[in-house]
Amino acid sequence: MRRLLAATHGRFAEGIGETLRLILGASQPLELLNAYTVPDFDMAKTAKEYVSALGEGDELIVATDVFGGSVANAFAEYTASGRVHVVTGLNLPLLILLVSMLDSEDPTEEMIENAIEEAKEGIVYVNRVIEETMREEEEDDF
């Protein structure tokens, strides 16, 4: 079984999880980890606990906020097993795609790559789109 964990610095995981559930419904297969929000938080210990809780045959996909950050790095320690997959650059389109693809028959690596590629399309500089659309409309008017 695939498990999905949004793990971020501060309360970003909580916020993006709340937004995801607002859009997709309350019962989504998503775990949340708000790192460093309590005194004496130990990221290495917390990552180890999540990985140790995996059942036989389970995989853990960890969506984190920052590449090279302590949250991603703590989980990256466990990627050699092939059961832990770390994805950085967490955003809402990526999270929606990962949740919706969890039951996919595709290999996990392929599923993650597909989700990343599709999520990139959600990053748009809207000003440019408006400019291009207006320019096209002006050209069509002539």
Residue 87: its H or E element? strand 84-87
Residues 6+ apart with CB under 8 A from 61: 2, 3, 4, 5, 85, 87, 98, 102, 108, 112
Query: Hey, what are 42's tokens?
Result: 């130990």
Please give the model's pTM, rounded to 2 decimal places: 0.91
142: number of Cβ within 10 Å: 4
Residue-level pLDDT, tens digit, the chain, 142 residues: 999 999 999 999 999 999 999 999 998 999 999 999 999 999 999 999 999 999 999 999 999 999 999 999 999 999 999 999 999 999 999 999 999 999 999 999 999 999 999 999 999 999 999 999 998 888 777 6
